[in-house]
């Protein structure tokens, strides 16, 4: 009897003995007990409930509404004057010019449009030209340029990129600047005159620098061979874009604003996002703090009408605008801020109601479970 039970114990002992070393040998395989591997990293576990987002809604409402009001007021304080000089209408002074247009005319057509400002423009006034229905963002158009040519690369100057086709080579000479964008550069000349009450025309000084991005003018666009050299010589062997009356090195007399670094060219080369756009043309600097930049009164806009837009139903505009810290006149931002702020505030109230009614019910019904 004794032996029998002893036998059993022995067996048990034997068993545990054999499994022991086996267990030890493989214990190295045991996965590391690190928080990451066990998915037990300490964590913040937020839950979006009516209760937690309520304050956010109210805060957004409280912040957005004043900002919106501020923006709206600012936008309303901005003076903007716009004049369409396309000359579609027979009564328009530019009607003739717009009709007589043909590609090869060397003689320029001029017209002048009188207008009056009801309010004085106080600070710096920015003069834009605006085009409508002009697809500067067309893919074929956008890519039709050679940035390395414009950056003064001599190789590209002589052998422009294929992207410029069909504005790449004319009469076996490379076009500088090549491409559709450069070729279609806006070439109307706009001049502004103040008509004194006594009838004299005072020309308003228009600044043609400072209209392009500083980086564009000084880094992205460069004349080949550096700024010092003789542009005529540098551009020798190239030809002007087809629709330009003069070559690129005769865009301006000021050497700092000539050739590829001409700011009108640079501004034009920054393709607009939408088919209706405006581009900065000139800046009217504030003279002193006493007189407004553009006082109330009558003005004339003299246009050298070169740029054809009628073929594609385009429009040309001249815009005078002051600028605030938030840009030009745009009521959208202010209105949007006010409405989003109010919606948030309203939702906050709704949520408060829901939270009060349902939040408690959920919690109270759950906890006893």
| CB 337, CB 63: distance < 8 Å | no
User: Contact with other proteins (CB under 8 A): which of 254, 324, 346, 349?
Assistant: 324
Burial of 3 per CB tally in 10 Å (0-12, 13-18, 19+): exposed
User: Contact with other proteins (CB under 8 A): which of 206, 304, 333, 352?
Assistant: 333
- Choices 6-14, 86-94, 192-200, 285-293 (CB under 8 A): range interacting with other proteins: 6-14
Taking CB under 8 A as the rule, does residue 30 contact other proteins?
yes
Instruction: Tell me how far, at minimum, the Cβ of 100 lies from other proteins, in Å.
Output: 16
The contacts of residue 331 (CB under 8 Å, 6+ apart) are 72, 75, 76
- Between 5 and 288, CB nearer to other proteins: 5
Instruction: Tell me how far, at minimum, the Cβ of 79 lies from other proteins, in Å.
Output: 13
The continuous run of DSSP H or E covering 72 comes out as: helix 50-77
Here's the x/- map for other proteins, 145-184, by CB under 8 A: it reads as xxxx--x---------x-x-xxx------------x--xx
Q: What residues numbered 247-276 form the site for other proteins, per CB under 8 A?
A: 267, 270-276
Instruction: Tell me how far, at minimum, the Cβ of 17 lies from other proteins, in Å.
Output: 10
Compute φ and ψ for 132, nearest 5 degrees: -120, 150
Total of residues contacting other proteins (CB under 8 A): 120
User: Where in 58-104 does DSSP place strands (E)?
Assistant: 80-84
C-alpha 240/C-alpha 175 separation (Å) is: 6
Provide the terminal-to-terminal Cα distance of the chain, rounded to the nearest Å. 57
Taking CB under 8 A as the rule, does residue 71 contact other proteins?
yes
Instruction: Tell me how far, at minimum, the Cβ of 108 lies from other proteins, in Å.
Output: 18
Q: What residues numbered 271-310 form the site for other proteins, per CB under 8 A?
A: 271-280, 283, 308
Q: What is the DSSP string of 288-349?
A: -SSS-SB-SEEEEEEEEE----GGGT-EEEEEEEE-BTTBSS-HHHHHHHHHHHHHHHHHHH
User: Contact with other proteins (CB under 8 A): which of 211, 248, 294, 320?
Assistant: 211
Taking CB under 8 A as the rule, does residue 199 contact other proteins?
no
- Between 16 and 232, CB nearer to other proteins: 16
- Residues of 228-262 as b/e, b for ≥16 C-beta within 10 angstroms? eeebeebbeebbbbeebeebbbbbbeeeebbbbbb
User: Contact with other proteins (CB under 8 A): which of 117, 157, 178, 212?
Assistant: 212
User: Contact with other proteins (CB under 8 A): which of 171, 199, 289, 367?
Assistant: 367
- Choices 91-99, 226-234, 245-253, 344-352 (CB under 8 A): range interacting with other proteins: 344-352
Token pair 């043309």 is found at 281
Taking CB under 8 A as the rule, does residue 368 contact other proteins?
no
Instruction: Tell me how far, at minimum, the Cβ of 296 lies from other proteins, in Å.
Output: 22
User: Contact with other proteins (CB under 8 A): which of 113, 143, 159, 302?
Assistant: 143
- Choices 86-94, 135-143, 187-195, 230-238 (CB under 8 A): range interacting with other proteins: 135-143
- Between 297 and 327, CB nearer to other proteins: 327
Token pair 């716009």 is found at 82
Taking CB under 8 A as the rule, does residue 218 contact other proteins?
no
Token pair 């020309």 is found at 203
- Residues of 15-29 as b/e, b for ≥16 C-beta within 10 angstroms? eeeeeeeeeeeeeee
The contacts of residue 94 (CB under 8 Å, 6+ apart) are 85, 86, 87, 111, 113, 303, 305
User: Contact with other proteins (CB under 8 A): which of 69, 109, 304, 323?
Assistant: 323
User: Contact with other proteins (CB under 8 A): which of 135, 201, 206, 252?
Assistant: 135
User: Contact with other proteins (CB under 8 A): which of 141, 201, 204, 302?
Assistant: 141
Token pair 């504005």 is found at 167
User: Contact with other proteins (CB under 8 A): which of 81, 85, 244, 337?
Assistant: 337
């Amino acid at each position: 009897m004794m032996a029998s039970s002893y036998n059993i114990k022995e067996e048990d002992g034997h068993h545990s003995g054999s499994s022991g070393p086996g267990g030890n040998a493989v214990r190295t395989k045991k996965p590391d007990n690190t928080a990451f591997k066990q998915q037990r990293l300490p964590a913040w576990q937020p839950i979006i409930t009516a209760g937690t987002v309520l304050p956010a809604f109210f805060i957004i409402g409280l912040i957005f509404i004043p900002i919106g009001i501020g923006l709206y007021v600012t936008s309303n304080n901005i003076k903007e004057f716009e004049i369409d000089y396309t000359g579609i209408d027979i009564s328009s002074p530019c009607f003739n010019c717009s009709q007589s247009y043909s590609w090869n005319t060397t003689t320029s057509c001029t017209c002048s449009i009188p207008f009056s400002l009801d309010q004085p423009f106080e600070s710096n006034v920015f003069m834009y030209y605006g085009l409508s229905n002009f697809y500067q963002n067309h893919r074929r158009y956008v890519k039709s340029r050679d940035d390395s040519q414009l950056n003064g690369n001599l190789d590209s100057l002589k052998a422009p990129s294929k992207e410029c086709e069909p504005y790449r080579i004319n009469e076996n000479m490379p076009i500088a600047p090549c491409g559709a964008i450069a070729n279609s550069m806006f070439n109307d000349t706009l001049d502004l005159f103040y008509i004194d009450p006594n009838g004299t025309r005072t020309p308003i000084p228009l600044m043609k620098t400072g209209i392009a991005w500083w980086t564009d003018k000084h880094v992205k666009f460069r004349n080949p061979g550096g700024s010092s050299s003789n542009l005529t010589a540098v551009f020798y062997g190239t030809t002007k874009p087809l629709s330009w009356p003069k070559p690129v090195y005769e865009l301006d007399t000021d050497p700092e604003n000539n050739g590829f670094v001409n700011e009108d060219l640079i501004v034009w080369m920054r393709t607009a996002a939408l088919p209706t756009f405006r581009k900065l043309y000139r800046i009217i600097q504030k003279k002193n703090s006493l007189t407004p930049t553009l006082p109330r009164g009558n003005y004339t806009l003299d246009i050298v009408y070169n740029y054809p837009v009628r073929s594609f139903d385009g429009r040309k505009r001249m815009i005078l605008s002051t600028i605030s810290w938030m840009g030009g006149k745009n009521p959208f931002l202010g209105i949007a801020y006010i409405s989003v702020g109010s919606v948030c505030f309203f939702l906050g109230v709704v949520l408060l109601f829901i939270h009060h009614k349902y939040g408690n019910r959920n919690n109270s019904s759950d906890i006893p479970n």
